[in-house]
Structure 1
Amino acid sequence: MGLSEGPNKSFHIVAVVGSLRKASYNRALMMEAIAAAPEGVTIEVFDQLADMPLFNQDIEEIETPDSALAFKEVIRKADGFLVVTPEYNSGLPAVLKNAIDWASRGTPSVFKNLAVGIMGTSPGALGTSKVQQQLKQSLSGLGAYPLAAPDFVLPLYKSKFDDEMKLNDSKTVTRITNYLDRLRELGLCLNAIRPRS
């Protein structure tokens, strides 16, 4: 897939939520991203992070868990990767880091030359800025290309979502659409050199 194929070329994103809570604001943000995706962009949520055991090479040498194999396969087939995550104790949620560790195994890495978007919301004024920097460092080390600034950080979520956990701020919806469009642009540039096997 190359940039010459045009901005309206179908672009498929696989996405994960770093929270396991059903009523998570970051899960709500993911649903808003699906609804706000620009024309031609589809988002598939991989929702099996809780099914993966803690990474252990002894387990891997016997048999890699089906959930980890499935995660690697959807990343391999996708045009881009989106992470929507909270920040736990100024860092990565364990379930998210564990999934990345499982998916990082093997050569070539499914993360090599992969366009990555990172979004997050929190009740605090700083949003999820610290966890986003950690994710960028980790994924860049695996050969991925996280989107550069401006980051998509949404602080003070109680002022952005209504009682039904729907965004009540049209400017934020526009920001989501523009961010996903940038992810597509980066992905179209990178997909021509991404290993798929």
Structure 2
Amino acid sequence: MSVRILALVGSLRSGSHNRQLAEAAARHAPEGTTVELYEGLGDIPFYNEDIDTDSAPASAVRLREAAGRADALLLFTPEYNGTMPAVLKNGIDWLSRPFGGNAVSGKPTAVVGTAFGQYGGAWAQEEARKAAGIAGGSVLGDLQLTIPNSMVRFAETHPADDTEVTDQLVEIIHRISGHVTQAAPQAA
């Protein structure tokens, strides 16, 4: 069984270490698993139930369709003022609808990331796990990767070239895939 994991990156910055971390996950994904980086999270308007109608914004529809095609989600988040960035929270909000039948309902979801601080974005990851779980995702809370001091650690090395980081990412992707394949017979 081939497993498709949709990666949502909570940083829009072109040199984002979290984007680089997602690129590393895509590059080092084990055989039989694809990690697809979602492009366009910043193009989606802030969630507003008044515009979430039969003609929802095309950017939100694209996100929902991408999540619908995926078997699992992998969220990459920096930490902004002790929490996740608004763009990631907004993506989760759009994915949480329609209530009870959304594109992430029951899908294995993991949250990882890197941040400048000494805790590697742990608070942001906790908030993202909470929001993704309330949105209906099956949050894999035991899969955690917090990488502190990103500005120093990745100043001269791309995360894809950091063996310790890639080993941890590959392990997380393996475990996400295991949750997907374990759930597949039950869904059939």
* AA matched with 1:112: S
Shift of 1:165: 3.1
* AA matched with 1:161: F
Please list every run of 5 or more consecutive structure 1 residues that lacks an aligned counterpart in the other structure: 1-8
Match of 2:81 in 1: 89
User: In the aligned structure 1, how far is the partner of 2:105 from the partner of 2:64?
Assistant: 12
Matches of residues 170-181 of structure 1 in structure 2 within 5 Å? 170-181=163-174
Shift of 1:164: 5.5
Q: TM-score, normalised by structure 2?
A: 0.91
Cα RMSD (Å) = 1.9
Per mean C-alpha deviation after superposition, the further-off stretch among 105-114 and 142-151 is: 142-151
1:184 is aligned, of 165, 171, 177, to 177
1:133 is aligned, of 126, 130, 153, to 126
User: In the aligned structure 2, how far is the partner of 1:141 from the partner of 1:83?
Assistant: 15
Match of 2:72 in 1: 80
2:109 is aligned, of 116, 123, 139, to 116
Match of 2:34 in 1: 42
* Deviation per residue, 1:104-134 (Å, 9 max, x gap): 1114122211001211001211011111111
User: In the aligned structure 2, how far is the partner of 1:12 from the partner of 1:141?
Assistant: 22
User: In the aligned structure 1, how far is the partner of 2:162 from the partner of 2:14?
Assistant: 22
Check the 8 A contact 2:109/2:139 in 1, yes or no.
yes
Q: 1:62 to 1:17 in 2, by over 3 A?
A: same
Please list every run of 5 or more consecutive structure 2 residues that lacks an aligned counterpart in the other structure: none
Shift of 1:158: 3.5
Identity across aligned pairs (percent)?
A: 32
User: In the aligned structure 2, how far is the partner of 1:150 from the partner of 1:37?
Assistant: 16
User: How many residues get paired?
Assistant: 187
Matches of residues 92-111 of structure 1 in structure 2 within 5 Å? 92-106=84-98, 107-111=100-104
Relative contact order (C-alpha < 8 Å, sep 6+): which is higher?
A: 1
- Three-state SS of the structure 2 residue aligned to 1:120 is strand
Check the 8 A contact 1:162/1:168 in 2, yes or no.
no
Q: 1:13 to 1:167 in 2, by over 3 A?
A: closer
* AA matched with 2:176: L
Shift of 1:166: 4.3
